[in-house]
Structure 1
């Protein structure tokens, strides 16, 4: 064996119980939820649209928000019954109620595109997000999510595709490649069972 092989041939670390095949055999929704919560996300599972509206109302009351940003007509229908003002102008001050493209199980992240964020970067938006998503938007990997976008928007692929995977804006980013460019958000996920 050459000197370089000895130097760089380090043994692989043993898998932890959570990384074992037991974790991989879980359903995709459970894998996503475990990773999402591990990243400090707040998760509310809903089986009816009334539950979605009720949970949204509770989130708004809990945080004493009187105005939220919402620029999607389908989501505005969910807000009708809630006593809160809405604006469609994106800014960094008000909480943002938004849908997403996909929920990525492998790391608990949420993928957005220009369909939700317009031309703004995630870091330019509010620290407070409320995301409405459905179980049919769950995918295993980042690659699957990008393939899903390519398939769904054939010929008109949205730009500004980015993800949030850290749900604690006060956390320190350990990755020096991301220094000063964090996408961490205080994020509530309203996950609606549609399958």
Structure 2
């Protein structure tokens, strides 16, 4: 952010904003001068983090995700861990099979992992991502069995839904307990 901090600070003093959005990081990130990617990435966001703290404002920097998925959403942020380490809060907006998720982790907040829906240009929170995912999987099983004329076993259901068989087996058991399904014969399931 060579020279940009001073200009941004002057603008903050003149306009007194509570939020600044920078779209995207690549527009303010200096060319890499170090062989250490972590140091270069940390140095790119460190001055903004300091500026936000000094003025008590939020500075939101838009950045992109890597193409590969990860169990930890922060690992999906493109670049080194210096980017996520330099800031107070990281939010990751991502599309999953069960919808759009917003994951957040920060120094002064509890972790969030929620599923959102965009409707008429407004985001609506649908709920906790794990609960929504299970609900989506349950709906898929019910829909599959609704369209079948015979009872199905866990292996057939898992193959039809392209899901791991062990996960489906556990979910089927829960669905029987909850009254969503009925077990028919040995290891076959139907709608109640």
TM-based fold match above 0.5: no
Larger Rg: 2
Point out which structure has higher relative CO (alpha carbons under 8 A, 6+ apart): 1
TM-score (norm 1): 0.24
TM-score (norm 2): 0.25
